[in-house]
């Protein structure tokens, strides 16, 4: 039987390496050495990590199977596999394959968008607060960054964003928004895209799209057909549970994608995440399960924290914000001391604590630690 990644044992691996210097250098550690290393490693499995808006249920089982099968292809560039993924995504969104650009996480999409559409005299216009990566990338490239405060009900201030982008540049809209977990209503997002000034590009980050339940939310991917200045970013890091694998993509018109592609590193994707993504797209049951469990646990936590007398912001994501009515920095540190990591402090909302929705046991651990810290 031919030896594959599935059948390759430790003994077979060592036999293939042989007995030379290369084998000695790559030989697996013995049990004693491995045990000693594990004893000194941080006990990360004992930390309840609710800080990065990850999906605690992980990738689809079909994605794991696809990755195991792809081990044998690790020596090859993933070109044709990326093409197949792009075809899958194009079919999913009802666009041509020339409207899709894959990247190493949506972080890469944001970075190359900043490089392509901002710079000295071409600002990056963002909400405040919102996900900071786009503004950071733009400022490193010499672009001015204009931060527009959210409205009192935590929506993007569309008139103010349009005014700030009057001279061109890139308008970044995270919808649903991170860190507030709120949405900007679909009519207002449509207004922003339709009225964007000449020379201004609009980037709508839909990382949390799959978690939004509100009837006043919609994806803007269908609007790409009529707006050459629109880019929509998606990621496999959230509902697909692949934050550690890194895959995202942009949907835009071909001429717009060409400008992004000019800024992209060659071969930035790995074959394991590409095949995992294709399998995950097919396993809609796993996505629905993740969505359902997130909703149920989020509703339970909202009720539990609200019962303690705290106000929570509306959430259309896999995290929520708790208004503590005091600075969150000491609370973040105190929770960490109890083995629970939550989101960072946001300068625009210094009294709001961002908490990722984990599994029910994880949230029970958080609630116990939270009660203790706030007592």
Same domain, 124 and 228: yes
Same domain, 114 and 245: yes
Looking at 282, 308, 339, which one is the last position of a domain? 282
Looking at 244, 267, 282, which one is the last position of a domain? 282
Residue 41 lies in a domain: no
Residue 15 lies in a domain: no
Alpha helices in 211-252 (DSSP H): none
Same domain, 247 and 294: no
Same domain, 319 and 189: no
- Residue whose token pair is 């809609």: 284
- Residue whose token pair is 């077979």: 12
Residues 6 or more apart whose CB falls under 8 angstroms from that of 132 comprise none
The whole-angstrom separation of Cα 333 and Cα 350 is 14
Which domain CATH number covers 222? 3.40.640.10
Same domain, 268 and 292: no
The whole-angstrom separation of Cα 201 and Cα 311 is 36
Number of domains in the chain: 2
Helix 271-282 to helix 61-70 angle (10° resolution) is 150
Residue 25 lies in a domain: no
Helix 105-117 to helix 254-261 angle (10° resolution) is 100
The answer to whether 330 and 373 have CB atoms below 8 angstroms apart is no
Same domain, 223 and 343: no
**Which tokens is 218 given?**
């919609």
Residue 84 lies in a domain: yes
The boundaries of the domain holding residue 298 are: 285-374
pLDDT, one tens digit per residue, over 321-359 is: 999 999 999 999 999 999 999 999 999 999 999 999 999
The answer to whether 121 and 205 have CB atoms below 8 angstroms apart is no
Same domain, 178 and 304: no
Q: Which of 370, 374, 337 is nearest to 355 (CA)?
A: 370
Same domain, 161 and 269: yes
Same domain, 205 and 314: no
SS3 of residue 319 by DSSP: strand
Residue 23 lies in a domain: no
pLDDT, one tens digit per residue, over 12-64 is: 333 333 333 333 333 333 434 333 433 333 344 689 999 999 999 999 999 99
Which domain CATH number covers 343? 3.90.1150.10
Looking at 282, 312, 342, which one is the last position of a domain? 282
Same domain, 216 and 324: no
Q: Find how far residue 245's CA is from the centre of its chain.
A: 11
Residue 152 lies in a domain: yes
Per-residue pLDDT of the chain (375 residues; tens, 9 = 90+): 444 433 333 333 333 333 333 333 333 334 343 334 333 333 446 899 999 999 999 999 999 999 999 999 999 999 999 999 999 999 999 999 999 999 999 999 999 999 999 999 999 999 999 999 999 999 999 999 999 999 999 999 999 999 999 999 999 999 999 999 999 999 999 999 999 999 999 999 999 999 999 999 999 999 999 999 999 999 999 999 999 999 999 999 999 999 999 999 999 999 999 999 999 999 999 999 999 999 999 999 999 999 999 999 999 999 999 999 999 999 999 999 999 999 999 999 999 999 999 999 999 999 999 999 999
Residue 37 lies in a domain: no
Residue 126 lies in a domain: yes
Same domain, 313 and 267: no
Q: Which of 61, 65, 131 is nearest to 290 (CA)?
A: 61
Q: Find how far residue 299's CA is from the centre of its chain.
A: 22
The answer to whether 240 and 207 have CB atoms below 8 angstroms apart is no
Burial of 280 (0-12, 13-18, 19+ CB in 10 A): buried
Same domain, 72 and 109: yes
């Amino acid at each position: 039987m031919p030896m594959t990644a599935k059948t390759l044992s430790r003994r077979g691996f060592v036999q293939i390496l042989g007995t030379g210097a290369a084998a000695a250098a790559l030989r697996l550690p013995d049990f004693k050495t491995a045990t000693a290393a594990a004893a000194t490693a941080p006990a990360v499995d004992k930390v309840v990590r609710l800080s990065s808006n990850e999906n605690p249920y992980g990738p689809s089982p079909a994605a794991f199977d696809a990755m195991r099968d792809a081990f044998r292809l690790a020596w090859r560039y993933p070109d044709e596999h990326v093409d197949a993924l792009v075809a899958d995504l194009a079919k999913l969104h009802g666009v041509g394959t020339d409207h899709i650009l894959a990247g190493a996480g949506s972080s890469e999409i944001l970075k190359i968008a900043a490089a392509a559409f901002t710079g000295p005299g071409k600002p990056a216009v963002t909400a405040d607060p919102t996900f900071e990566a786009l503004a950071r990338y733009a400022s490193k490239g010499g672009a001015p960054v204009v931060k527009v405060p959210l409205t009192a009900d935590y929506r993007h201030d569309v008139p103010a964003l349009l005014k700030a982008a009057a001279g061109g540049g890139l308008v970044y809209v995270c919808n649903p928004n991170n860190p507030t977990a709120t949405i900007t209503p679909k009519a207002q997002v449509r207004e922003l895209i339709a009225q964007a000034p000449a020379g201004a590009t609009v980037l709508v980050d839909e990382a949390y799209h799959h978690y939004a339940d509100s009837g006043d939310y919609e994806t803007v991917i269908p609007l790409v057909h009529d707006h050459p200045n629109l880019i929509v970013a998606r990621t496999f890091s959230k509902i697909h549970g692949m934050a550690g694998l890194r895959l995202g993509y942009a949907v835009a018109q071909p001429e717009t994608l060409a400008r992004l592609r000019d800024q992209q590193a060659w071969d930035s994707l790995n074959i394991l995440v590409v095949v995992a993504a294709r399998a995950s797209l097919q396993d809609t049951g796993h996505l629905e399960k993740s969505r359902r469990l997130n909703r149920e646990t989020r509703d339970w936590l909202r009720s539990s924290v609200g019962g303690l007398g705290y106000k929570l912001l509306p959430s259309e994501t896999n995290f929520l914000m708790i208004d503590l009515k005091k600075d969150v920095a000491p609370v973040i540190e105190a929770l960490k001391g109890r083995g629970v990591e939550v989101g960072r402090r946001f300068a625009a909302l210094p009294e709001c604590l961002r908490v990722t929705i984990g599994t029910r046991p994880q949230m029970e651990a958080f609630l116990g630690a939270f009660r203790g810290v706030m007592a």
